[in-house]
Amino acid sequence: MSTFTLNNLCYSYGSRQRDVISNLNYVFEDSKVYSIIGKSGAGKTTLLSLLSGLVKPTKGSILYDGNDISKMDPYRYRSNYVGVIFQSFNLLPHLTAIENVVLSMDISGKKITGKKEKAQMLLNSVGLDDATAHRRILKLSGGEQQRVAIARTLSYEPSVILADEPTGNLDGETQTGIINIFQDLAHKEGKCVILVTHSPYVAQMSDMVYELAVKKD
Amino acid sequence: MYLLKNALKSISRAKTRNILIVIIASIITISACIALSIRQSAETAREASIDQMKITAQISVDRQAMLKSVQSGDRTNVLRNIQGISLEEMLSYAKSGNVDDFYYTLTSSLNSDEATVPVDTSEVTESTEDLNTQFEGMGPGGSRRGFAGMGNQGDFTVVGYSSHNAMSTFMDGTCKVIEGSVFAEDTKEPDCLISDELALLNDLTVGDTITLINPNDEEETVVMKINGIYHNSEAAMSSGGDMMGFNAASDPANRIYTSYTALRAVVDNSEANAVVEVDETTGREISTALRGQEAGTYVLADATAYDAFQKDAEDLGLDTSIYAITSPDLDDYEQSMIPLERLSSYAAYFLLIVLIIGGAILVIFQVFAIRERKYEIGVLAAIGMNKRKVAAQFIAEVFIVTFIAIIIGTGTGSVISVPVANRLLQDQVQAVEVSQQTTMNNFGGGFEGRIPGGAGFLQGRMDGSGDADYISSISANVDIVVLLQLLFIGILLTLVSSASAIVSILRYDPLKILSNRS
Ligand SMILES: Nc1ncnc2c1ncn2[C@@H]1O[C@H](COP(=O)(O)OP(=O)(O)OP(=O)(O)O)[C@@H](O)[C@H]1O
Ligand SMILES: [Mg+2]
């Protein structure tokens, strides 16, 4: 069963602008880790935005479990089915790491007991200690913020994880730890993991690689 | 509810701004609280006094209307020929279904014989004339300027009443019979009530008689029997410094009360025996008959009945170009309400301005707050929080802050609204009094003030329009109505100030917000 099916997917940021994405026909399945690679400006972030329902295709469609996502409630879709780790993290700077994670669980509306404990556990699993977990995002380093964003996405257990350069700010050791988490999510928990990356190492560790080319006018 | 939790967190995060908003909203609430309680107490005062008021009305000559209706050349003539409305006519209008009761009086002015001395506090006797001209301006209370052909003024004012109900000063307790009893309602006998001061001055007791003389004919005497002695509680207070001291007949102590029938008989008899002369210079007839002034009082259930009665009387044939129906009670009441009514309408404008300015300030605050929080909105939307929920959270924040302000404002407002309202009301009373005074002076003393009051005049009300009883203090409690109105204002402020936030939240595109940021 394929999680995502792209049908001639096209996208441009304005009716007079060129297509950033044109005629993609990718398939993403569960229990696999995918890497999307390509030069800067190739449209990788744009593709993740499309998959997460933040923008709608200008042509073609994206099916999620056979349903056109542009016809689904975008909020429910984002807060329950897909977890997005944005390139710029999109954490709330005034909240602590734990609060950010708990907020996502709140928004998902899922019945989760012991949200705080779960948040703390997840933050520990991505390598953040309790003291860091209680600090505000403003006071965390880029790499720490990145890991909070990952923990946040895992907290409400979405069946798809979309991550924009999740290891961009991490050292080799931490990077390996994170990749292992993603691999476990795909292989042990049957989730579909889609990573955008510039790192050949990450690409090599994934089950499948798609390469986007920069479109010229 | 995580919405509420988030809202509270956001509020405590933006402390400075929210404290500022609380201060502004509190000021709005305090102002609104004062304005609303003023309006509320004006409303209560209006209802309370109109409810317990028994309205009396009189028909009198409307000089202004008369003068307007004729050519300028004829005006002097018209004024001279003014006739008070006759009792027959007054009785015919009393048939209106809206009249609860009708009673009437006959007022006449007589002198005393040597045996009886009138109560006269005026020490000046020689220069009376100067004083008269000087005090002409004092207006309606001074009874010297009556209707045309009034004749000479006596020392005593004798009033004949058609019924005991007509004796308003006794009805309201100003006067009280302290010895003997009141004359019988319909008696033909010249039984009378005299004041305790007069009795004391002349050593008179119940059962004695007093002899009165027609001021126009010294030969004509009237003997009255004292049936009772009354005490006037207002006479003692008012005879001190004001003008009644200069004129014996206007001193309440020189008022003699009897039945209408008895006084009518005296006046009729005098008219039958009168001698009429023609004045050489003016060509006007001068009679030696005792003058009698009739006045009728209609009792009406309420203001509506009063309005209906005006219409009825016109239908029954009252010529409104000559006569006017007036109600001193209603006038007094309206007069007494002027400062409060003014304050009430100022309060309404004030409230409006405060709401507009305060509302604008709050909107501006919210607009800035939203701009600052654009990124937050974008993140919340990006991680799947419904925009409507985001908007709800923002409304909740504004509402909580406004609610705190309402509690503070209402608390403070309810404490200070009574003194502030009373302070403002007193300023108003003063302002009205000053302007009344100016008007009085402009008109040479209440030109329209009391002149139409045919019955009010001489009968016992000595209050000129200059010293009307204004409602000068209120108990402006913050009651449940005011509280509900404040709550409504709070909700209104919340909605207005969060409206801009809601609109921008719903319009925002999360991706745009986020990509603009990076
Ligand atoms: N909001 C936007 N409006 C207009 N054009 C945009 C917008 N966002 C991105 N683009 C353009 O679309 C193209 C693809 O952008 P995108 O962010 O998808 O690239 P990317 O592959 O993620 O690059 P990078 O590796 O640098 O993150 C770029 O040329 C970019 O300038
Ligand atoms: Mg990118």
- The DSSP H or E segment spanning A211 is strand A208-212
Hey, what amino acid is at A12? S
For A139-158, what is the mean pLDDT?
A: 92
Q: Phi and psi (nearest 5°) for A28?
A: -120, 130
Question: Which protein residue has the closest C-alpha to ligand 1 atom 22?
Answer: A45
**Residue B456 in this model has a pLDDT that exceeds 50:** no
Shortest alpha-carbon distance between residue A88 and chain B (Å): 7
**A31: Cβ contacts below 8 Å, ≥ 6 apart:** A186, A187, A190, A191, A192
| A71-80, A114-123, B488-497: range with lowest mean pLDDT | B488-497
The sign one gets for the Cα dihedral B503, B507, B509, B513 is: negative
Kindly indicate the confidence band of residue B239, based on its pLDDT and cuts at 50, 70 and 90. very low
Q: Please give the ipTM for the structure prediction.
A: 0.89
Q: Which residue of B has its CA nearest to A90?
A: B379
Residue B401: alpha-carbon gap to chain centroid: 44
Indicate the range of A81-85, B12-16, B502-506 predicted with least confidence. B502-506
Tell me which CATH homologous superfamily contains domain A31-53+74-211.
P-loop containing nucleotide triphosphate hydrolases (3.40.50.300)
Alpha helices in A77-205, H assignment, sequence order: 97-108, 115-125, 130-133, 142-155, 172-187, 200-205
- Scanning the structure block, which residue is given the tokens 């990573």? A195
Residue identified by tokens 């404002």 is B409
At A33-68, the pLDDT tens digits run 999 999 998 999 999 999 999 889 999 999 999 999
Is the confidence at residue B245, as pLDDT, over 60? Answer: no
Q: What share of chain B is helix, strand, coil (3-state, %, to 5)?
A: 55, 15, 25
Detail the DSSP E strand segments found in B13-71.
Answer: 55-61
Q: How far is CA B78 from CA A176, B58, B67, B447, in A?
A: 117, 22, 8, 17
Asked whether the predicted pLDDT for residue B146 surpasses 50, the reply is: no
Domain boundaries, chain B: 2-49+338-517, 103-301
Q: How many CB atoms lie within 10 A of CB A178?
A: 21
Q: Is the pLDDT score of A96 beyond 90?
A: yes
Residues of B near A (CB-CB distance < 8 A)? Answer: 2, 6, 9, 13, 376, 378-387, 510-511, 514, 517-518
What would the mean pLDDT of A134-144 be, rounded to a whole number? 92
With pLDDT > 70 as the criterion, what percentage of chain A qualifies? 99
pLDDT greater than 70 at residue B49: no
For the cut 90, the answer to whether the pLDDT of residue A207 exceeds it is yes
Does residue B287 contact residue B214 with C-beta atoms inside 8 Å? no
Contacts of A126 (CB under 8 A, 6+ apart): A147, A148, A150, A151, A177, A178, A181
Q: What is the pLDDT of residue A196?
A: 94
pLDDT at B413 exceeding the cut of 80: yes
Nearest to B245 by CA among B107, B123, B110, B118: B123
B69 CB within 6 A, ligand 1: no
How do the domains of chain A map onto residue ranges?
31-53+74-211
Determine the Cα–Cα distance for residues B339 and B331; give it in Å rounded to an integer: 14
Question: Using 50, 70 and 90 to split pLDDT, how confident is the model at B137?
Answer: very low
Two tokens, residue A61:
């469609």
Looking at CA atoms only, how far is residue A75 from chain B in angstroms? 4
The answer to whether B178 touches B230, Cβ cutoff 8 Å, is yes
B168 close to B463: Cβ distance less than 8 angstroms: no
Strand pairing class (B175-180; B55-61): unpaired
DSSP at B263: H
A152 touches chain B (CB under 8 A): yes
Task: Check pocket membership of A15 for ligand 1, CB cut-off 6 A.
Answer: no
Ordered DSSP codes for B399-438: HHHHHHHHHHHHHHHHHHHHHHHHHHHHHHHHHHHHHHHH
Separation CA A52–CA A50 (nearest Å): 5
B459 pLDDT band, cuts 50/70/90, is: very low
**Mutation site, A75, A79, A108, A157, interface B, largest B CB count within 10 A:** A75
By CB neighbour count within 10 A (0-12 exposed, 13-18 middle, 19+ buried), where does B127 fall?
exposed
Return the DSSP state at B450.
S
Q: Look up residue A117 and give its two tokens.
A: 């404990």
- Distance (Å) from CA A13 to ligand 1 centroid: 9
Taking residues B388-412, report their average pLDDT.
89
Rounded to a whole number of angstroms, the distance from the CA of A90 to the nearest CA of chain B is: 6
Bridge partners of B195, per DSSP, are: B230
The answer to whether residue B476 scores a pLDDT higher than 60 is no
Cα B447 to ligand 1 centre (Å): 88
Give the distance from CA A57 to its chain's centroid: 18
pLDDT tens readout for residues B259-313? 999 999 999 988 888 888 777 777 777 788 888 888 888 888 887 888 888 888 8
Contacts of B235 (CB under 8 A, 6+ apart): B195, B197, B251, B252, B253
HSE value, Cβ hemisphere, 13 Å, CA-based, for B402: 26
Query: For testing the chain B interface, which of A54, A79, A86, A87 should be mutated: the one with the most B CBs within 10 Å?
Result: A54
Of B140-154, B155-169, B184-198, B446-460, least confident by mean pLDDT is B446-460
Reduced 3-state DSSP string for B184-214: CCCCCCCEEEEEHHHHHHHCCCCCCEEEEEE
Distances (CA, A) of A8 to A5, A11, A44, A57, A63: 10, 10, 16, 10, 11
Task: State chain B's mean pLDDT as an integer.
Answer: 78
